[in-house]
């Protein structure tokens, strides 16, 4: 008999950002702290509602991680308590934070006029989210190369064996601030043949093994175009998310993908990137050691779990 534990009977809201989908748990006062097993069951696509992750919408002053966010930025009234579909926590979710802010706006918990900005607490630090019509631009903060600048010179710091792809490939590790490994493939046919799963018998293998696990982005650079007088790069991406499986989009992953392709492109590589994912398209803007992500957010249903 399936048990959703503390989630039973709680009003939940479903939503997605470029089809990276989430269960939102409104819990302003921090009264409901689901266990990893309860999150995993609710996110199971057969035994539960199904989602790539669960996001608790909670006031920052109601939990310890939120207090740290408030100390970093007193404007961070709300905290995105993000859990992967397997119940594990992650530092940041680039698609989720847009859906989070869209929910705050739609439910009247925050006033966000067009052009307005709100600060959201996350485990990766406070994030400023600006509404631009029906799109949201997230200041994703600083990014870095965990292996140091030498990795940028070499272009890779990890070897990845990917089921469905011939031979081992060089990958580049990036922190956004959650861990990502980006691997370039020669064309879209190769991208289509990759098998992306956490099944131990068919999972990618990394040398060295990433200490905190990793999200894996497979990318195919699509070239550059001039848009409004600016050069814009384009890249197609598939992603295997840590703690989830293959998803139709990953916001932090699109940032990692754009950053890696930009590094591989060398001097003169664009700062603005269109990243095409199975669930749609987002835009990534690099400003030195900071990165911004722009994309849509939607709410889809109000749901309640039965016992």
Ligand X SMILES: N[C@@H](CCC[C@H](N)C(=O)O)C(=O)O
Binding site for substrate: residue ranges? 20, 84, 94-95, 178, 215, 241-242, 251-252
Q: Count of residues binding ligand X (CB under 6 A)?
A: 17
Q: Is 255 a catalytic residue?
A: no
Given a contact cutoff of 8 angstroms between Cβ atoms, the answer to whether 239 and 247 are in contact is yes
Task: Provide the CA 294 distance to its chain's centre, in angstroms.
Answer: 12
CB atoms < 10 A from the CB of 157, how many?
19
Candidates 120, 234, 244, 257; binder of ligand X (CB under 6 A) is 244
**Which is nearer to ligand X, 119 or 250 (by Cβ)?**
250
Q: Within 176-235, which residues bind ligand X (CB under 6 A)?
A: 178, 215
Contact assessment for residue 4 and residue 38, using Cβ atoms and an 8 Å cutoff: yes
Considering only 36-44, 67-75, 188-196, 239-247, which stretch makes contact with ligand X by CB under 6 A? 239-247
State the alpha helices, DSSP H only, in the chain: 36-43, 64-72, 94-106, 149-154, 188-193, 251-265
174 binds ligand X (CB under 6 A): no
- SS3 label, residue 83: strand
84 is an interface residue for ligand X by CB under 6 A: yes
Q: Is 95 in the site for ligand X (CB under 6 A)?
A: yes
CB of 217 closer than 8 Å to CB of 182: yes
The one segment of 131-139, 187-195, 217-225, 247-255 that binds ligand X by CB under 6 A = 247-255
The reply to whether 90 sits near ligand X by the rule CB under 6 A is yes
Q: Where are the alpha helices (DSSP H) in 59-209?
A: 64-72, 94-106, 149-154, 188-193
Active-site entry in 175, 250, 277, 291: 250
Stretch of residues binding ligand X (CB under 6 A), selected from 27-35, 184-192, 249-257, 299-307: 249-257
Catalytic residues: 93, 250
């Amino acid at each position: 008999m399936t048990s959703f534990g503390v989630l039973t009977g709680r009003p939940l809201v479903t939503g997605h950002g470029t089809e990276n989908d989430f269960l939102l748990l409104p819990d302003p006062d921090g009264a409901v702290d689901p266990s990893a097993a309860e999150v995993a069951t609710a996110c199971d696509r057969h035994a539960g509602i199904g989602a790539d992750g669960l996001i608790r919408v909670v006031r920052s002053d109601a939990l310890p991680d939120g207090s740290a966010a408030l100390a970093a930025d007193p404007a961070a009234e709300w905290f995105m308590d993000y859990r992967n579909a397997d119940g594990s926590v992650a530092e940041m979710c680039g698609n989720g934070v847009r859906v989070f802010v869209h929910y705050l706006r739609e439910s009247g918990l925050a006033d966000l006029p067009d052009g307005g900005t709100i600060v959201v607490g996350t485990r990766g630090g406070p994030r400023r989210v600006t509404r631009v019509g029906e799109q949201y631009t997230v200041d994703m903060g600083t990014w870095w190369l965990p292996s140091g600048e030498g990795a940028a010179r070499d272009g890779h710091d990890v070897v990845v064996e990917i089921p469905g792809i011939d031979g081992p490939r060089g990958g580049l590790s990036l922190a956004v601030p959650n861990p990502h490994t980006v691997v370039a493939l020669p064309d879209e046919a190769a991208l289509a043949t990759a098998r992306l799963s956490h099944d131990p018998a068919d999972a990618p293998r990394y040398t060295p093994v990433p200490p905190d696990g990793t999200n894996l982005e497979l990318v195919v650079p699509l070239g550059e175009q001039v848009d409004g007088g600016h050069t814009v790069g384009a890249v197609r991406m598939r992603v295997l998310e840590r703690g989830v499986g293959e998803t139709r989009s990953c916001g932090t992953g699109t940032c990692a993908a754009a950053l890696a392709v930009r590094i591989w492109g060398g001097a003169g590589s664009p700062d603005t990137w269109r990243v095409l994912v199975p669930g749609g398209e987002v835009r990534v803007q690099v400003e030195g050691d900071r990165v911004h992500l722009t994309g849509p957010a939607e709410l889809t249903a109000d749901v309640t779990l039965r016992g």
